[in-house]
Structures are given as structure tokens and as C-alpha cells.
Amino acid sequence: MEMKKNKNIKIILPTGYINISIPKITMKLESGYLITSNKEKCRGLIEESPLNDNDIIDILVSLHLVLEVGLNTMYRHLMLRDIKKDIDKFEIMKNIDNINFIDKTIMFIYNSKFDFEGKLGEATRYHSIINALRDFSGVRNKLLHGHSISTISDGEKIKNSEVKNMLNPGFLKEQIGKFCFIMEGMRFYLNCLDSGTSDADKEQFSKSYLDDSFLPLLRT
């Protein structure tokens, strides 16, 4: 098939994109395994309720991976698109990745250009996702940094550690609610982004990195 000169074609894939600009073809593909595999793990565990302590630990850690990896990947796409300097892209990505994902979210919310026409109240409401991110990631940090998950008895009283007390369906439901609120807020900000990001790209970013539809109803 013969293509016309200077014809630009962009093929959007779940893991990246391919640009065809005759006679040049460029692409960027990125693994989404950590996102998709942990979504499947969460869905499978929740559907098999009732949950034990180990199931709740796995769900909390997996939800955090879905959130952090998804946000970091989306920010890389957005930042690389706007950088025009002739610098090696892997060097740029390395520097971007060295920034904490919460700090990147703060800069995204405060420094990006948005069109909030008629939606200023929602923008104010979703500003609280910054604190929600801190609270949500704090649980993951305690789990992965080895905070005690223990029960101690002196023969009369039984006492659980702080993290052990978190491992119950009520607390998990609260954390899932925070996760969904964060994703909802990020989808709102992305949709209001006024910086040349196409509607197709916004839709793909939301589907790939800001999706919470994989979560079934938690039976408590």
C-alpha cells in the first residue's frame, strides 16, 4: 500500500503508541504488567470473600501498586510529550522517576493548565486527593517497611499491633473508598487538562492508568 508523503498516523495501544510519519516511524511501548496483574489479584481475592488477614494485606499492597505505577506511568507520558529538548529520553525518564509520585501529583494539580469552567466546585473538592494519597500510601509503607503485625497476650489481656488492627473488612472498605476517590479526582483533572492533550489520549490514559472499574463490590 502506497502512503502519501507527510501523512501522519498515530496508533494508540494499551501499552503506548506508534507514530508513522512517512518515511519515519517512531514508537514508545511500556510494560503494564504490574498494573494489570495486581488488578487481577485484587479482583480475584475480593470475589472470594470472606477475606483473611493475608488476603487483606495482598489487596492493600496491590491497590497501592496499581495506583503508584499507574500515576507514575501517566506522568511520564505527559512530561515527555512536553519536553522538546534534544536530551536522551531514558535520562529524562530516570529523572522523572526519581520524583515521588505524590510530589508529582501536587505539581500536576498546581502547575498544569486546566479549564474548570463551570466545575470550580468539583476542582476544589478533588484537591483533597493530595491528603488522601498521603493517607493511602501510609498504609502500604507500614506493611512493606516491616511494621509489626502481631498479637500479644499477658495471660489476661490480648492486644493487637496498629497494623494488625487494620486488617479487617471495615478498614479495607475505607481504603478502597479512598482509592476510588483518588482515581475519580485524577480522571476529573485529566479531563479538564488544557494543554494540548487530545481527547483520545485522555481517554486512553484514564482507561490504562486511572481505572477503578475492576473492583467488585466488597462483601463485609
> What is the mean predicted confidence (pLDDT) over 11-28?
65
pLDDT tens-digit series, residues 57-76: 999 999 999 999 999 999 99
Show the cell assigned to 108.
500536576
pLDDT score at 49? 76
| Strand locations in the chain (E) | 8-13, 16-21, 24-29, 151-153, 158-160
Among 4-13, 50-59, 80-89, 93-102, which stretch is predicted with the lowest mean pLDDT?
4-13
pLDDT score at 4? 47
pLDDT tens-digit series, residues 174-207: 999 999 999 999 999 999 999 888 898 899 999 9
C-alpha to C-alpha distance for 91 and 109, rounded to whole angstroms? 24
Q: Over 70: is that where the pLDDT of 5 sits?
A: no
Q: Over 80: is that where the pLDDT of 214 sits?
A: yes
